[in-house]
Structure 1
Amino acid sequence: MAKAPARAAVLKGMRAALRLQRDLGLDQAGARGHRVDVFGAIYRQNVPLLFRKLEPLLGAYLREEGNPGIILTTRRPLGQQRFTAAHELGHHVLNHDPHADDDSILRRSPDLAGDYMNLPPAEQEADAFASYFLLPDWLITTLMQRQHWTPQHLQHSDIVYQLALRVGASYRATLYALVRNKVIGAGIRQQLAKAQPATIKRALVPDHTIESTQNIDVWHLTERDEGAVIEAGRDDLFVVKLREDSNSGYLWNFDELQNAGFARWSFI
């Protein structure tokens, strides 16, 4: 775990995230099973949000003449955009100075020694805010209960990837949150971190060629996702596994999906 003064910064960021969740009602019963709407939270804080083709920056927190603003790159997957948005929102909520962020924010965590301890306190606070805001304990617990996932299930990279999709965070950020919540140990996280999301995605659709996985996610949906809100990208793929018994009239009809613009290519 992080040591002082990093520990104090992590606690400050965590408390700010939990306080904002409470103030916005994100931890209430009706919302507990859905990913945290970080873009909506920025809007409700009256902070203008812009998307631009930034490179190599992921995002920035701005303040011109006292007026705040957040800018995010369009050149990254949604999970990375959401984490960056939460990081910049943390800068705002914690009243930090303007700051620009590159992809180093995706690779660091308070459970790593060394370089992390040398980060400015504002960056440690914003990192902790982003992690706790996007991946609160109650959201992970709710999704584990809904999907009937045990800690043993989450020792497998493909299950962690599916959890990451549902919470709307990157695979790596989800691993850190599972360690933080004591669902898996640090040793298991290190092993799972070796898995490449691109490999996980292709394994889910072995009969379908994916030229580039950078902006494509692959969702594995079952009956346990009934009633859930699936926030997917326009190019995402869905593997749907549902029970069917034609003798009892228990059949599935996918015409509505096709009429909504989904391309049907495989159902299991």
Structure 2
Amino acid sequence: MNWDVAHRVAGIAANQAHRDLAVDREGYVHVFAALRAAGLIGMAQPMPRLFGLYMDENDGGPAVLLNAGLDVITQRHTAAHELGHHLLGHRSAADDNLDHSARWGDRSWPEHEKVAEAFAAWFLMPRPAVLQAVEQVTRGGGLRRPEHAYLVARVLGTSYAGTVRQLSRLGLLTRDQGNQWLGIAPAALKGSLCGGRPVPGGSHVHAINLPSDGRRFYVDTGDLLVLEVPGARFGESAPELVAWGASWSAGEGDAAPYSPQQILQVTEDLDISTAVSVSVPGNDDPLGLTLVRQSPRTGSDDVWQA
């Protein structure tokens, strides 16, 4: 089975799963809630040598075990991959290396792993959700910069590389564009979005602009909120947010592709969610958005956020 066939099979299966599990195909996919809806027991614990494990009924399942030491983006992908094993009728499977090309080589993946990996992409990034994310990020201008792909990944809760591949697969990037953008480190894109300043490795960057009004942003401790609207300011912030770096305004001669007006950082005080307002010159009403914490899962799924 080649990758094209694997993606065709997985795309159909993911579409069916969205329907059966009542997943919103136009927004952020709540994969941990989907595990429960599919009848899977979910658990997470530190596992130095294992990323994830699917156990079928013959091994005491159906259940999914995730590595609690992973960041939430990697956990989400692993959860979707293991869900694919379950819904596609696979036997128990262990994932001890997320870099499958290093484990099996580019062309020697076992068929069940190919399809489960493709399923994860289509489950977390269905076409309607991707198109809506692209519209939000680019404001209808199309994907012109790799930073756009990075921000689309933030909307979807997916990795930068996985998002670039899916954008190419959906015909939203050319193959050459995709290959070129895959060669750019996310750290460089995060720095660019913050006006050229280095960003801590574990922090993600979320751009706030006019289309952000009414939106939910899925964030974790250390993430940065970058305000892009000229002249705009964040409202009175709760203890969940603190100023990060200096505030500055874009100048006409500024050579940086992004010149943020203000940057806030999410702190440990963010428990579940909080509301944030942004005042915009010329607007009677402020923009309103909601931050929802998405941190790595630990323990049993009965204490997990959906």
TM-score bracket, shorter-length normalisation = 0.7 to 0.9
Partner of residue 49, structure 1: 42
Q: How does 1:132-171 map to 2 (within 5 A)?
A: 132-149=122-139, 153-171=142-160
Structure 2 stretches lacking a partner, 5+ long: 248-260, 262-306
1:84-131 CA deviation, whole Å, 9 max, x = no partner?
A: 1110110111111111113435769xxxxx944421111011011101
- Deviation at 1:65? 4.1
Distance 1:59 1:85 in 2: 8
Identical columns (%): 25
Distance 1:81 1:168 in 2: 10
Matched, 1:227 2:214: yes
Partner of residue 254, structure 1: 235
- Deviation at 1:25? 2.7
- Deviation at 1:70? 0.9
Q: Secondary structure at the match of 2:206?
A: strand
TM-score between both structures, scaled by the size of structure 1: 0.82
**1:86 corresponds to which of 71, 80, 91:** 80
Alignment RMSD: 2.5
Distance 2:239 2:3 in 1: 49
Aligned length: 245
Matched-pair contact (CA < 8 Å) for 1:201–1:217:
yes
1:162 aligned partner, one-letter code: L
Matched-pair contact (CA < 8 Å) for 2:207–2:228:
yes
Partner of residue 111, structure 2: 121
Structure 1 pair 74/154, CA: closer, same or farther in 2 (3 Å)? farther
Structure 1 pair 260/21, CA: closer, same or farther in 2 (3 Å)? farther
Q: Secondary structure at the match of 1:36?
A: coil
- Deviation at 1:243? 4.5
**2:228 corresponds to which of 241, 246, 250:** 241
Matched-pair contact (CA < 8 Å) for 2:53–2:66:
yes
1:230 aligned partner, one-letter code: F
- Deviation at 1:252? 5.1
Larger % of helix: which?
A: 1
- Deviation at 1:58? 1.6
Q: Secondary structure at the match of 2:219?
A: coil
- Deviation at 1:140? 1.0
Distance 2:243 2:85 in 1: 43
1:217-245 CA deviation, whole Å, 9 max, x = no partner?
A: 0111111111111010121011112354x
Distance 1:105 1:196 in 2: 16
- Deviation at 1:209? 5.3
Q: Secondary structure at the match of 1:154?
A: coil
1:189-211 CA deviation, whole Å, 9 max, x = no partner?
A: 1110111111221232357654x
Distance 1:148 1:165 in 2: 13
- Deviation at 1:187? 1.0
2:39 aligned partner, one-letter code: N
Larger % of strand: which?
A: 2
TM-score between both structures, scaled by the size of structure 2: 0.72
Distance 1:22 1:235 in 2: 34
2:193 aligned partner, one-letter code: L
- Deviation at 1:77? 2.5
Matched, 1:10 2:7: yes
2:88 aligned partner, one-letter code: L
Matched-pair contact (CA < 8 Å) for 1:105–1:127:
no
